[in-house]
Amino acid sequence: MARQRRSVDWGFPRWRGYGAASEAATVRLCDRAGCEEKGDCPAPKSPNSPDRWYFCEKHAAEYNAGWNYFEGLDKEEAEQREQSERATGEAYRQSAWSQWGGSGDGTRSRDELRALEVLGLDPDADFEAVKKAWRAKAKEVHPDVRPGDAEAAKAFHALQLSYEVLRAAEERREWRG
């Protein structure tokens, strides 16, 4: 007859989940040699192979930075593979109705989104990024830097208008009470 062990539950409330074991959970370690972190990010060992490496987040990012899906294929094979992937990957495509409105999450107007495009920023950029981008681009095309250049003057005018639109929108968002 097996001897009964001491219970780890001392009544209500139950401090661990129902059905949870008291033993330590098995954790897969990172496949990078010498790394002791948890390896929960799968990465393919080679194209078209079901085998996976399991890296920690840091090593997965390092591995994926150098990963080339089309490595070893010539140009025609790569294009053919891309076409077949696109044909079968329709379920992963963004829905068509959400593409009508363009980018952004709906918190910015179309004028603001156009102004961000002129500055070369993402739709979710904050105002500090707007200031930095405006300063950097204005230094390149400022009329004092390029006197007599009509293209630069036009670009500077577009930058100025974009900055004014975004500054006014930022002032409307902030509470000054």
The stretches in the chain having pLDDT less than 70 are 1-25, 89-105, 177
Q: Considering Cα of 128, then 155, then 144, then 161, what sign does the dihedral take?
A: negative
Name the CATH superfamily housing domain 110-173.
Answer: DnaJ domain (1.10.287.110)
Residue 11 pLDDT: 58
* Terminal CA-CA length for the chain: 76
- pLDDT given at position 71: 77
- CA atoms within 13 A of residue 149's CA, in its CB half-sphere: 14
Do 163 and 111 contact (CB within 8 A), yes or no?
no
pLDDT digits (tens, 9 = 90+) for 112-140: 999 999 999 998 899 999 999 999 999 99
- The pLDDT, as a whole number, for residue 83 is 84
The helix or strand, by DSSP H or E, that contains position 54, with its residue range, turns out to be strand 52-55
Dihedral over alpha carbons 61, 65, 66, 72 (to 10 degrees): 110
**Domain residue extents for the chain:** 26-93, 110-173
